[in-house]
Chain A
Amino acid sequence: MSCMEREQLFAFAHGMLDAQEEAAARTHVAECARCRQAVEEFARLDAVLEEWKPAEPSPWFDTRVRVALAVEGEGGWRKALGTMQWARWLVPAAAVAALVLVLMVMRQSTPPPQPVARQTPAAQETTPAPEAGRPEAGHESAPAAQAQNPSAPANPATLTRRDETTPEDDLKVLEDFDMLANFDVLSELPPRESRVAN
């Protein structure tokens, strides 16, 4: 009597054969010690594998799943939106609108460049006083007047007002350490030795 193939014996041991095959295998195994031993070996392997116990879920597993489902529920409207055809253009359109808005805000917040006639202190000294009786040029008309007559002196009052409203980029005093030294309150204190003695 020839033995059954091991794969057939394995299938028999695990109930993978159809009714007819199983009946034939059962008869054979009952008569063949070697095949019976092979089937018993598969059963022993099954028993050994049983020793590997399953891991237990942590107590907070359900909570985590429910939180994930809740988050999923909240995100549902976004997904529904994503399935709409027209919504595909919503994001790029919103991005363009935001960009235009930002550019408009930046444009409004940046002061327009002003044609300021800057005068050096030396120039101020040599600037003649305005003629008596001459009407003081208005704030808006001064540049135009100067443009018409570049050689005409600018109105000092106008220049002063312009200087006050000049943006910060005209102020370079923070880097002028010689100038800062003049405003250093510490320099007005008595020398260090005398301070320590006091």
Chain B
Amino acid sequence: MAIDHDLELMLRVRQGDAESFDVLLDRHRKPLVGFFARMVRDQALAEDLAQEAFLRVYQARRRYRPKAKFTTWLYRIATNLALNALRGRKGVQTVSGGDGDSSDGASQVERLADSRPTVEQEMLLSERERAIRQAVESLPENQRAAVILHKYQGVDYRQIGNILGVSESAVKSLLFRAYENLRIRLEPLLRGGQI
């Protein structure tokens, strides 16, 4: 239903309805910035890319044909932008990839009986988040894009095939390998322990 609504909005944008574009912007702003932030890590770059994605949608409004779901089209644009950005700054990313934080400190934090989150627990939480982020970032580009689209953007694996330009069986295989890599890298967290 929501996707149909997006299509409807985009068709109105094609006819010159600026308000419908505002609604699309409102609906997809947060997921799109989140997608880019997870893909490229840099928040400022993520916003630049999200802006560029919206701009491309607007520029292509007259050529828009509702062949697939609106989100498939949107994330195809977004994924291309993100992968281009990643390829453009390869090398820079690897240099600044690590946070320089040791996980030893976090692993020694004892859980207190008190359920309120302590500063240490806050630190621990962010440490866990950081570990997840690093695990996802360590994936090859296609696996990373597939996982982020599947897990965080809620995009169907068939749509992911259209976005990445691969078959459904290839997407299943890609996702399986990606999740297996993540399972190995996040083993300590899966066992319920700290990193």
Q: How large is the interface on A (under 10, 10 to 19, 20 to 34, 35 or more residues)?
A: 20 to 34
Instruction: Please count how many residues in chain B sit with their CB below 8 Å of the partner chain's CB atoms.
Output: 40
Contact with A along B154-195 (1 / 0, CB 8 A): 000100000000000000110110011011001001100000
Q: Which residues of A contact B38 (CB under 8 A)?
A: 52, 54-55
**Distance to closest chain A CB from B89 (angstroms):** 18
For the complex formed, measure the closest distance between the CB of A97 and the CB atoms of chain B, giving whole angstroms: 32
Quick check: B46 and A55 within 8 Å, CB to CB? yes
Main secondary structure of the interface of B (DSSP, over half): helix
CB closest chain-B residue, reference A17: B172
Task: Tell me, rounded to whole Å, the shortest Cβ–Cβ distance linking A15 to chain B.
Answer: 9
Given A49-B132, A52-B129, A54-B30: A11 and B47 interface contact (C-beta under 8 Å): no
Contact residues of A with B, CB < 8 Å? Answer: 6-7, 10-11, 14, 16, 41-42, 44-46, 48-49, 51-58, 61-62, 64-65, 68-69, 72
Can you list 29 A-B pairs with a CB-CB distance of less than 8 A? Answer: A6-B180, A10-B176, A10-B180, A11-B176, A41-B183, A41-B190, A48-B128, A48-B132, A49-B136, A49-B151, A51-B125, A52-B129, A52-B136, A53-B129, A54-B30, A54-B34, A55-B34, A55-B46, A57-B30, A57-B47, A58-B47, A61-B29, A61-B33, A61-B47, A61-B51, A62-B26, A64-B51, A68-B54, A72-B58
List the interface of chain B (C-beta within 8 A of A).
Answer: 21, 25-26, 29-31, 33-34, 37-38, 43, 46-47, 50-51, 54-55, 58-59, 125, 128-129, 132-133, 136, 150-152, 157, 172-173, 175-176, 179-180, 182-183, 186, 189-190
